[in-house]
A and B are shown apart, each in its own frame.
Chain A
Amino acid sequence: MTEPSDDLEQRFRDALPDPGERDCPPADAFWAAAAGELPFDQVRALVDHGARCARCAEAWRILADVRRAAAASDTVGANPPPPVPLGPAAPARAWARRRALVPLAVSALAATVVWTVLRPSPPGAPAVERGNGAGTTLRAESPPVQPANEALLRWSEVPGASSYNVTVLTPDLVVVHQAVGVSARELRLPEGVRRRAAGGGLLWNVDAVLPDGRTVASPTFELKLKER
């Protein structure tokens, strides 16, 4: 366990300068970093930025809360039933009632564990697993270095996927192209993107969308575009 660091957290927040909104990364880059979609160097750059900019530190802290709530929603469903309030009086009676509920709670917990392990994938609780899916992995099938004027992204098939969503980013994580609902397993980069990135690099990733709404996410791939 780590030592409590409340004092350091407060000092850290108080120490952060507010340089205005200069060179702040897009919010989606923070999400991608927290989701484990980016290589360490890029996460480090984003995290370091959050230690130089009070506004982005705020975005990181909001992110921590939001991702935790999202994870909880995925686990227990969006609308868990509210807890049954105990009456304000008679604490002994309440305690006896709680004790009586213990076997029931244990059974319910066991049933929940069994259900969680054995259930089919529910349509209401899709999961995004970027690059670490247990059985299915999405691989890049196009070369990592390509001529700029013919750049084509191609990826491996995810059985049963109904479509694919592709995101293309610059190395500093600005999204330059998104293609949603692509039926094929390849995407030709638009000319504007190719021209912009010619002689340099791009990052890209792809999400396979399954018929039940779940998403299988690829790792983030690099692409270098050579000028002819």
Chain B
Amino acid sequence: MTPTRGGDSGSLDPDPASVERIRQVLIRAVERHCPPALAAHREDLVQMALVRLLERPGAGEGTNPRGASYLWRVAYTVVIDEIRRFRRQQRQAEQASGGERVTPGPEARSELLACLDALQDRRRTAVILHLQGFKTGEVASALGWTEKQAENLVYRGLADLRACLGGGER
């Protein structure tokens, strides 16, 4: 990446209350969605991520804030980067200590994933987002559909998925 800056300064310029709110949301999200071994480090992970966010060029210095939405976006990306970095460090530490880590081999495709693969493109995309926790309105926003379209595609996709699984579970 080759970031450059133009004449006017763009900056994150976060206020402490926003940062604290984002911190709490990220901590809760990591706690909810990450495996326990990683979630145990949620406070440190999020703290490190926010430090990186605030260290970014322009953070806190400008007169031209880029807005709360941008701050949330950057906070999300730095926390995911931090989780990835944490996992890499853990793996390196395990390798350095001679610990044998099982490298995941070719996975036997689960029946559910095979059934997902068999869905029509639009239904599959809608259903996967739904299974990742997106509401129909959010699926619609991501895919440029109306909410009604998204709801129909999730509904029909889930029905197809259940039918496929039902067939396999006889």
A positions within 8 Å CB-CB of B: 1-3, 5, 8-9, 11-12, 14-21, 24, 26-28, 30-31, 33-36, 40, 43-44, 47-48, 50-52, 55, 57-70, 73-74, 78-79, 124-128, 162-165, 175-184, 190, 192-193, 207, 209, 211, 213-215
Contact = CB atoms under 8 A, between A and B. Distances in A.
Contacts of B142: 33-36, 43
Contact of B141 (A36, A55, A164, A177): A36
Residue from the set B1, B58, B107, B162 with the largest chain A CB neighbour count within 10 Å: B1
Given A31-B77, A183-B6, 8 more contacts: A5-B130, A40-B143, A66-B75, A78-B68, A128-B70, A182-B8, A184-B6, A213-B66
Nearest to A51: B128
Contact of B107 (A12, A17, A68, A190): A17
Nearest to A128: B69
B131 A9 contact: yes
B77 A27 contact: yes
B82 to A, nearest CB: 10
Contact of A47 (B25, B34, B125, B133): B125
B158 interface: yes
Given A5-B158, A26-B77, A50 B128 contact: yes
A20 B104 contact: yes
B11 to A, nearest CB: 8
Interface of B: 1-10, 15, 17-18, 21-22, 25-26, 28-30, 32-34, 58, 64-70, 72-73, 75-77, 79-81, 83-84, 87-88, 103-104, 107, 110, 112-113, 116, 121, 124-125, 128-134, 136, 138, 141-144, 151, 154-155, 158-159, 161-162
B112 to A, nearest CB: 5
Contacts of B28: 65
A31 B68 CA distance: 14
B140 to A, nearest CB: 9
A64 B10 CA distance: 27
Contacts of A128: 67, 69-70
A64 B167 CA distance: 31
Given A17-B104, A17-B107, A73-B21, A47 B128 contact: yes
Given A28-B77, A31-B76, A60-B132, A78 B84 contact: no
A57 B136 CA distance: 18
Given A21-B88, A31-B77, A73-B68, A65 B151 contact: no
A163 B73 CA distance: 19
A215 B29 CA distance: 26
Residue from the set A20, A59, A179 with the largest chain B CB neighbour count within 10 Å: A59
B67 A63 contact: no
